[in-house]
Structure 1
Amino acid sequence: MAKVVSIGNQSFESIREKDNFYVDKTLFIREWWDSDDAVTLITRPRRFGKTLNMNMLECFFSNKYKDRGDLFDGLEIWRDEKYRELQGTYPVIFLSFASIKQVRYDETVIKIKDELIRIYNEYDYIMKSGIYNANEKMQYQSVCVGMSDTVAQEALKNLSNYLSRYYGKKVIILLDEYDTPMQEAYVNGYWEELVGFTRSLFNSTFKTNPYLERAIMTGITRVSKESIFSDLNNLKVITVTSDEYSKCFGFTEDEVFAALEEQGLSSEKEKVKLWYDGFTFGESRDIYNPWSIINFLDEKKYKTYWADSSSNGLINSLVKTGSSYIKIMMETLLKGETIDVPIDEQIVFSELDYSEDAVWSLMLASGYIKVISSDELTGDRRKAVVYKLALTNFEIQLMFENMILRWFSPAKMETNEFIRALINGDIESMNDYMNDVALKTFSSFDSGKHTSEKKAPENFFHGFVLGLMVDQTENYIITSNRESGYGRYDIMLEPIDKTNEKYPGIVIEFKVINPRKENTLEETVASALEQIEEKNYDAELIKRGVKEENIHHYGFAFKGKEVLIDGR
């Protein structure tokens, strides 16, 4: 019987007690412990199981869970007798910065202090012991509302001292989503202030803490060592390009396919792979984001689950306000092609304002793009590497297309009118809409001097039209730049219901006027339509069951901001 999929449950204890759907990641415990690293920072995109894995570590090591081996019974780690003996034997401090998203520096520090107070309240019973003197008890009580920054910065180190003496063992510290406040600080303009506070907190906790056994931090980005980790020479950093822990976060293809079989969805493997596969960690390929998979298992519908689980505000802002170079690269990615850029995985948020390459570093860390291959960049003092990058998967492509739609589309009503005109073959309405869009918005996405003006409108409208069709994913399978017949079409819309003549098959070809061959847009659009027929782009649609008489051809011709659409 298929297990119940619990959406949003990040409690390892709850999932195991209720026997909910769970993909076994307990070998992460062994890999981390066997590494013998003092302080480990692991970066992964959001919704990739970081919090659940950290909670799993707490359940395994914390003496609060002594004699709770039942939580691990039947899982991989429990087959190793050595690790059975480790379960529930350490004092563990587990804290999270995930909810610290304030717009002001003072409010952020207050929230960090509140998290420290919560941890201290959890362990206040140890102060009833006679092993602490009066000064130590006063210090413990000083971690309270209104505490100074200095008290807060030393709080975790001091608590490590008290716990290690009480239990006779050094502590394990788990800090989840360490970089959430840093991202908010960048967006809201108090980065430098927060760097100073956080540097002192981390140095005290992870560097000069003699009561620390091990520590793990998780986050989305690797924030520059020169900022908050300046003195942490004992820090082991694991990023999305590292081989360590490559299968501990996210689901492997074998795990996904096994889950589909368990849920009676074996026939969906190919489409699930198209939508949600594509993440790469180190040498591990075919990693799926867990959030989309568990939501698909629950709803059994194809949606942009992961892309919609956040506002994507920072990426949206960086691309929208970025230079023509960034927009050109985004056009390339949206066409299904790759880009080659140098990547320095140490994110320096202040560089995002002027470093175009820093944007790609952030997008890679955040999971929006994936590594195809890499080459070392010689002679660069920061040892950047040139990566060949592509959009991660179909879900991410839809997210960006929808993002562009929100930037450039006029009213939603007008968008719906264009889609209706496209499906119904209303050429006049399509021309009215597209020429209005070109007049009002094309200059906002001008590719500038660094690309061919000839290709700029074609690239823009290609991505734009794809974005307009996002809402049609329930009616159409939408593909771009794929082979069919004797060439590669620009956009193809394959109706999901081949028997419903209301939704025709659609093939679209974009062309910019070539003054050497054509004198008018009419000649250019005719050339586009001829190409569709000569290259037999209908072949793929007909092969998949679409009737030849229910296929519409559209040619889009461009000359600067002028657009002409015709169809057959």
Structure 2
Amino acid sequence: MKKNYPIGIQSFEEIRKGNYCYIDKTALVYKLAESGKYYFLSRPRRFGKSLLISTLEAYFQGRKELFEGLSMGKLEKEWTEYPILHLDLNAQKYDTPDSLYDMLNDMLCGWESRYGTRPSETSLSLRFQGIIQRAAEKTGRNVVILIDEYDKPMLQVIGNDELMTDYRNTLKAFYGVMKSCDKYIKFALLTGVTKFSKVSVFSDLNNLMDISMDNRFASLCGITEEELYRDFKEDIIELGEKNGMTEKETKATLKEMYDGYHFTEKSEDIYNPFSLLNTFAQMRFGSYWFETGTPTFLVELLKHSRYNLYRFTEEMADADSLESIDTMYINPVPILYQSGYLTIKGYDKEFRAYYLGFPNKEVEEGFTRFLLPCYAHLNTGNSSFEIMSFVKDIRKGDVNAFLQRLQSFFSDTPYELARDLELHYQNVLFIVFKLLGFYTQAEYHTSNGRIDMVVKTDKYIYVMEFKLDGTAEEALQQIHDKQYALPFASDSRKLYKIGVNFSEKMRGIEKWLIEEN
């Protein structure tokens, strides 16, 4: 029977009543509810945070009928109904000083119509405090507080320091109420993409347990490989048949495209749920998560912090830095991790440091394509066309066309990038190298003032040396001196040795030399 895939549906009740497929996470939800009181969870967008909130809401409403056949149905015996304050900050656009106030005021007015108000409660935080207390007193049961996308207002105003400070101060006071109302609260969970550290938003709420990097709850959002193979067995077979692939090939492609997220050093592989559901619904592989939108502020942070994109291949971060984005203007790595563009690839126990990298091909290729027009000048303005032309030039051995296209990437270099031309040319070449690597074999090395690159196709091998403010002759001579072409001496493919010089004065490629073997 064809499954109903809950794409875009974040209501647990709708999923259960509509007979949509549901990966049973309720044993973990039960564990969460029973083992603690105040929680914070950070996960990338479209990873199921809102569904988790909705599941908890149904559980604390005592909706036993929705959990029949699930793990929770066997685990919970009492099914008590608690008063619930569910704040969803996802729906509003936050771009003015009044936007956040209007959103919070609207939610508070709704709760006050149910639980009452007092004239003395004049501020947002005082009103929230009064609502929590009266909800507990009127119902005789402590309150459950569920806050979805707590950080949405601040993420939307990154770059606007005045509004950021205003929002942060408002939310700090608002969320801080929960600590003073502890005796009236049964359970609280805040979710978001990023974590603004305890010195800012959470400084008045320092009793939160951050489970974002907690092994116990690593698979609370997302789909594990075990869950994928167990609950989507027929879907995998059908996907393979529709795309001319064996079951083994289909599983390998799913893993390459959508797997690879790790939220702790010991976490099992987590697949992107949004991409998996879309793949099975449409029966084709695509960049579903990435195409829902990459925030341009991430690129601005990379540029502002003078980030060398080559570091994506060897990035490291300590545990403390990954848990906060407060230094994002000088170090964009934590927000890239928390947003899902980088993930944990390994762990150095001695130094408590994480090795980071792209989680999978969907993110790696999508993000690299997204970066190209942000760093390079495109004559056509069309990234896909430029990449396709690049690859075609390489495959047919048209070296001059390839280099002319590369040269055009550096025309009209923006002034703010031209101030650090070496970093700029390294970043553009890294993007080009990564994009070529999706269609050819490519190796890339960088050190001060120079880059060497090897690109292989079925007919050609290109050995390239790039210099800054040297000469093309010196670059070509270095290929000879360092014997870069020696590993290919017995290879039947045609070999090109290419020396390229970048000129700071010209703000681009000044000259190239080609030697054929």
TM-score range, shorter chain: 0.7 to 0.9
How far did 1:406 drift?
A: 1.4
TM-score by length of structure 1 reads 0.75
Q: What is the aligned partner in structure 1 of residue 105 from structure 2?
A: 113
Whole-angstrom distance in 2 between the partners of 1:532 and 1:101: 57
Q: What is the aligned partner in structure 1 of residue 506 from structure 2?
A: none
Whole-angstrom distance in 2 between the partners of 1:277 and 1:243: 18
SS for the counterpart of 2:354 is strand
SS for the counterpart of 1:279 is coil
Q: 1:391 aligns with which of 358, 368, 372?
A: 358
Which runs of structure 2 are paired with 1:369-408 in the superposition (5 Å)? 369-375=342-348, 385-407=352-374, 408=376
SS for the counterpart of 2:262 is strand
Structure 1 residues 72 and 175 mapped into 2: Cα distance closer, same or farther (>3 Å)? same
Q: 1:286 aligns with which of 263, 266, 269?
A: 269
1:65-115 deviation per Cα after TM superposition (whole angstroms, max 9, x unaligned): x4x4232111112122xx1422x5222221211123312222222122223
Q: 2:198 aligns with which of 225, 228, 232?
A: 225
How far did 1:439 drift?
A: 4.8
SS for the counterpart of 2:159 is helix
TM-score by length of structure 2 reads 0.81
How far did 1:401 drift?
A: 1.2
Which runs of structure 2 are paired with 1:72-471 in the superposition (5 Å)? 72-80=67-75, 83-86=76-79, 89-120=81-112, 124=114, 137=116, 139=118, 150-189=122-161, 190-239=163-212, 241-263=213-235, 264=237, 265=239, 266-267=247-248, 268-282=250-264, 283-323=266-306, 326-327=307-308, 330-333=309-312, 337-342=313-318, 343-349=320-326, 351-353=327-329, 355-356=330-331, 359-375=332-348, 385-407=352-374, 408-410=376-378, 411-412=380-381, 415=386, 417-441=389-413, 460-467=428-435
Q: What is the aligned partner in structure 2 of residue 49 from structure 1?
A: 48
Q: What is the aligned partner in structure 2 of residue 59 from structure 1?
A: 58
Q: Is the 8 A contact 1:154 1:205 kept in 2?
A: no
How far did 1:27 drift?
A: 1.4
Q: 2:500 aligns with which of 534, 558, 561?
A: 558
How far did 1:152 drift?
A: 2.1
How far did 1:432 drift?
A: 2.2
SS for the counterpart of 1:47 is coil
For structure 1, the residue ranges without an aligned partner over 5 or more in a row are: 127-136, 143-147, 379-384, 471-475, 483-487, 494-503, 539-550
SS for the counterpart of 2:158 is helix
Q: Is the 8 A contact 1:220 1:366 kept in 2?
A: yes
1:249-287 deviation per Cα after TM superposition (whole angstroms, max 9, x unaligned): 111111123344221243411111111111112221311
Q: Which amino acid aligns with 1:400?
A: F
Whole-angstrom distance in 2 between the partners of 1:213 and 1:28: 18
Q: Is the 8 A contact 2:346 2:356 kept in 1?
A: yes
Q: Which amino acid aligns with 2:432?
A: F
Q: What is the aligned partner in structure 1 of residue 447 from structure 2?
A: none
1:519-554 deviation per Cα after TM superposition (whole angstroms, max 9, x unaligned): 466667899995574375x9xxxxxxxxxxxx8866
Q: Which amino acid aligns with 1:347?
A: S
1:430-479 deviation per Cα after TM superposition (whole angstroms, max 9, x unaligned): 23222232454499767969xxx6x9857742422534x69xxxxx7555
1:15-71 deviation per Cα after TM superposition (whole angstroms, max 9, x unaligned): 111211211111122211221x22111111111111001101111111xxx4x4232
Whole-angstrom distance in 2 between the partners of 1:9 and 1:515: 55
SS for the counterpart of 2:284 is coil
Whole-angstrom distance in 1 between the partners of 2:443 and 2:269: 22
Q: Is the 8 A contact 2:86 2:147 kept in 1?
A: yes
Whole-angstrom distance in 2 between the partners of 1:432 and 1:461: 14
Q: What is the aligned partner in structure 1 of residue 464 from structure 2?
A: 510
Structure 1 residues 156 and 419 mapped into 2: Cα distance closer, same or farther (>3 Å)? same
Whole-angstrom distance in 1 between the partners of 2:419 and 2:350: 27
How far did 1:418 drift?
A: 4.2
Q: Is the 8 A contact 1:434 1:563 kept in 2?
A: no
Whole-angstrom distance in 1 between the partners of 2:135 and 2:14: 26
Q: What is the aligned partner in structure 1 of residue 489 from structure 2?
A: 534
Whole-angstrom distance in 1 between the partners of 2:227 and 2:302: 34
Q: Which amino acid aligns with 1:534?
A: A
Q: Which amino acid aligns with 1:51?
A: S
How far did 1:120 drift?
A: 4.2
Whole-angstrom distance in 2 between the partners of 1:13 and 1:565: 65
How far did 1:229 drift?
A: 2.0
Q: Is the 8 A contact 1:529 1:567 kept in 2?
A: no
SS for the counterpart of 2:81 is coil
Structure 1 residues 517 and 171 mapped into 2: Cα distance closer, same or farther (>3 Å)? closer
Q: Is the 8 A contact 2:433 2:442 kept in 1?
A: no
Structure 1 residues 138 and 149 mapped into 2: Cα distance closer, same or farther (>3 Å)? closer
Q: Is the 8 A contact 1:509 1:532 kept in 2?
A: no
SS for the counterpart of 2:465 is strand
Q: Which amino acid aligns with 1:294?
A: L
Identity across aligned pairs (percent)? 23
Q: Is the 8 A contact 1:40 1:238 kept in 2?
A: yes
Q: What is the aligned partner in structure 2 of residue 4 from structure 1?
A: 4
For structure 2, the residue ranges without an aligned partner over 5 or more in a row are: 240-246, 445-451, 503-508
SS for the counterpart of 1:98 is coil
